[in-house]
Structure 1
Amino acid sequence: MTVPPYLAVAMQLAARSVEAAPDVAAARAGILAHIQELEVELAGTRRFLETFSGTPLKLAVLPEYLFTGFPTGRVQDFPARAIFAPDGPEYRALGEVAKRLGLFIAGNAYESDPHFPTLYFQASFLVAPTGQVVLRYRRLNSMFTASPHDVWSAYCRHYGPEAIFPVADTEIGRIAAIASEEILYPEIARAHALRGAELFVHSSSEAGGLLPSAKQIARRARALENLAYVVSANTAGIAMSDIAGASADGNSAIIDWRGTVMAEALSGPNVNAFAEIDIEAVRRARRKPGMSNYLARQRLELFRDTYAGVVQPADSLIEDGKVKPSASLDAVRILREIIDRRARQGLI
């Protein structure tokens, strides 16, 4: 199916911490109210950008944990306040917004799983204009929230290998998600690209600034080496948190498949990171038998033995066949053990 050019926008918006709410009920109500506010902002953004450019807006990417903020330890009931159920009211509300506006909406949230009731994962999602969630990716490289890798044997048994690096084949192209800091890990983007992903939606919350950050550099690298677009939405600060509001603010961006920054925002809430997406250009580049076709030139068998070596072990949250709660994840201890082992091996 041919994909006509369309606009994508990285919505640089302020996340709101649910930790400031007086109780769980207020926190849950605040999330749904925030989604209603988002619809107004998305509708206005579409009118403005389509009038400005003459090209239809088809994709809006939201920042990381926009509706909840992240757990800081200020409250003990963060999961009850913040976690979305896969079939819960928050996704239904987002689906209704997508239907009414005719948009694909990508975002990020903490999410429960019926197979792992003691855990929650960080999930990146894509809601289609049908109102359905057509992409659900659980963050794999996660330090303080459970990763599917922490319950790997059970996760694969329940969902199979296709759920690990999912790609949604949509009317606006084949889309995959990269969560926040995972843009720094080239294997994640490459795994998605090898499964056909032509555009990465990247929800992030990071410190923006005048000097290039690690994530800014990585976004361009992931786009170039995979011949794929990256639409990266950063938070415009985190409201109602106990850190300085603008500590995670700025530099939302859209990068094309050549690694060129097409648009990049400064600080504050804005929709200045928007650009025209030409999926057919990606497809033409990937079909050319030239030196710049980095995907086709991969010799992955060369790396099989090296990658077979375990650095961070699987199933760290499974003990005696039982799944431990998310709070049992001792990320710092695991990292120390990995570093000590590699030091003894003379590898670092």
Structure 2
Amino acid sequence: MKVAALQMVSGTQREANLAVARGLLEQAARAGAELAVLPEYFCAMGMRDTDKLALREAAGEGVVQAFLARAARELQMWVVGGTLPLQTAHPQRVHNTTLVYAPSGECAARYDKIHLFRFDNGREHFDEGRVIEAGSAPMHFDLQARTGHTWRIGLSVCYDLRFPELYRLHARAGADLLLVPAAFTHTTGQAHWELLLRARAVENLSYVLAAAQGGLHENGRRTWGHSMVVEPWGRVAASLPEGAGVVLAELDAGRVRQVRAQLPALEHRVL
């Protein structure tokens, strides 16, 4: 199955970001991708954390959700909508939500980011908990590829990458592909991004597809980029350092079976 990680450098204006996202999705479709994944915050990187509140949508309706459904239907591929802000019961909070759309245009899965990023090194300060309400439930979905193989795909977002127990839950549920839309900071990404992605692939003997924000944004934030696809043995199959673009890779279900047969680490779990 051919897959695409879409890298962006999102600005503050939703419509401009959606136009870029559509162009990348079309590029992925022309290349034969069956699954395309947008990065975290693909629809907007605001000047302030609270800018998310003005863009929040109710589940099942809204500009961004309509955009994703239409793209999946018109391009006839699975589209994973990075993250977008969805309403919560609290007027000053949103969920940071990944939505998955099937080629029919139907929403096939929803995952609300569980782990919320907080970082302060004296120069950079981030606290997603000021505006985002954490999710509580892991989520995976099944995708039947054109070959007939059914991929079980585990969902996660950005900071989740630092919590291996989430990915082990996906592996125990049979996941053979793990998705990580992200907006890693340049500081943390330079130190840990590839290391963590390859670790999650090796630990779970699964493919990992990570679609990232990558560059200097209108709001002054710099993200690390390096969207990539990692094979179950830990090799980086394809990567894009910085800037908007499409990272393509071919996934082989037989390769997952092979490495899990050669090294049955998932069967050797004790704890």
TM-score range, shorter chain: 0.7 to 0.9
Q: How does 1:1-348 map to 2 (within 5 A)?
A: 6-17=1-12, 30-32=13-15, 34-47=17-30, 50=31, 56-69=32-45, 72-73=48-49, 78-89=51-62, 90-106=64-80, 107-113=82-88, 119-143=93-117, 144=129, 145-149=132-136, 164-172=137-145, 173-208=151-186, 213-237=191-215, 239-241=217-219, 243-244=220-221, 247-271=222-246, 273-286=247-260, 288=261, 290=262, 292-300=263-271
Structure 1 residue 249 displacement after superposition: 3.8
Relative to the length of structure 1, the TM-score reads: 0.66
Give identity over the alignment, percent.
Answer: 24
Structure 1 distance, partners of 2:224, 2:203, is 27
Unpaired segments of 5 or more residues in structure 1? 1-5, 18-29, 51-55, 150-163, 301-348
Amino acid at match of 1:233: A
Let me know the Cα RMSD of the aligned residues: 2.3
Relative to the length of structure 2, the TM-score reads: 0.83
Quick check: 2:55–2:85 contact (8 Å CA) kept in 1? Answer: yes
Amino acid at match of 2:253: I
Structure 2 distance, partners of 1:217, 1:46, is 29
Match for residue 152 of structure 1? none
**Secondary structure, in 3 states, of the residue corresponding to 2:154?**
strand
Structure 1 residue 268 displacement after superposition: 1.3
Q: Which has the larger radius of gyration?
A: 1
Structure 2 distance, partners of 1:256, 1:142, is 27
Structure 1 residue 11 displacement after superposition: 0.9
Quick check: 2:155–2:180 contact (8 Å CA) kept in 1? Answer: yes
Amino acid at match of 2:18: I
Structure 1 residue 206 displacement after superposition: 2.0
**Secondary structure, in 3 states, of the residue corresponding to 1:192?**
helix
Judging changes above 3 Å, is the alpha-carbon distance between structure 1 residues 293 and 71 closer, same or farther for their aligned structure 2 residues?
farther
Amino acid at match of 1:112: Q
> What stretches of structure 1 move > 4 A for 4+ residues in a row?
115-118
Structure 1 residue 87 displacement after superposition: 0.7
Match for residue 148 of structure 2? none
**Secondary structure, in 3 states, of the residue corresponding to 1:16?**
coil
**Secondary structure, in 3 states, of the residue corresponding to 2:264?**
coil
Match for residue 126 of structure 2? none
Structure 1 distance, partners of 2:224, 2:9, is 8
More helix by share: 1
Amino acid at match of 1:196: G
**Secondary structure, in 3 states, of the residue corresponding to 1:95?**
helix
Structure 2 distance, partners of 1:165, 1:283, is 24
Quick check: 1:15–1:238 contact (8 Å CA) kept in 2? Answer: no
